[in-house]
Amino acid sequence: MRPRSLLAVAAVLLSATAFAQDRGRTDGPENSEWGKGGYDKPLSGSFSLAFDFGGAINNTPLGGSGAPLYMGGTASYWMTDWFLMDLHGSYAFNSQRFHGLLGPRFRTATWPVSGSLGLRAGIITDPLAGVRFGLSPIAAVDMMFNRHLIAGLEGAIDIPIAGNGVTYRIGLNIGWRF
């Protein structure tokens, strides 16, 4: 046999005894692509539900009688840690307005404290003007505990198009990411 053939046969025989690599390790944040191996849980942490409550003040008197408070909830779909789609519903007691809003929110990818900005759009029911289309820019700061429990502070300005003034909301929210 030629020396080249002997080298080729030796290389094939030696490579046949090699074992597959172990599972390995990951070098980065959860669900990152750094390193080898790792795992992926489909839809893990992709949804969250939050209870919202706080103060609601109107820039014009709307004839409602009640405490300047609001209550509601937000369901969020987390496309990534920094981009969410929110579905928000709330009721302001003093103006008797219901807000049903949908929109994106951009969040800093810092952990555990994060800031976010967003714009929601949808319906705002006004007892004097009826159902109106409205916009609601929001700013928020939240803190995540153990990657599931979320508590935050949120401010929003609800602007009904062709309605009777705007509502300023500032409140707290507490939710769970699952």
User: Which pLDDT value is given to residue 33?
Assistant: 54
User: Which pLDDT value is given to residue 2?
Assistant: 67
* Report for 23-27, 48-52, 95-99: range of highest mean pLDDT: 48-52
Residue 1 pLDDT level (bands cut at 50, 70, 90):
low
**What stretch of H or E contains 10?**
helix 3-16
pLDDT digits (tens, 9 = 90+) for 123-172: 999 888 889 999 999 999 999 998 899 999 999 999 999 878 899 999 99
| Three-state secondary structure string covering 92-109 | ECCCCEEEEEEEEEEECC
**Residue 47 pLDDT exceeds 80:** yes
pLDDT digits (tens, 9 = 90+) for 97-127: 999 999 999 999 888 999 999 999 999 998 8
Strand partners, 173: 52, 152
Q: For the chain, which domains are there?
A: 47-177 (2.40.160.20)
Please answer whether residues 50 and 74 qualify as being in contact, where contact means their C-beta atoms are separated by less than 8 angstroms: yes
Position with higher pLDDT, 77 vs 34: 77
User: Which pLDDT value is given to residue 136?
Assistant: 97
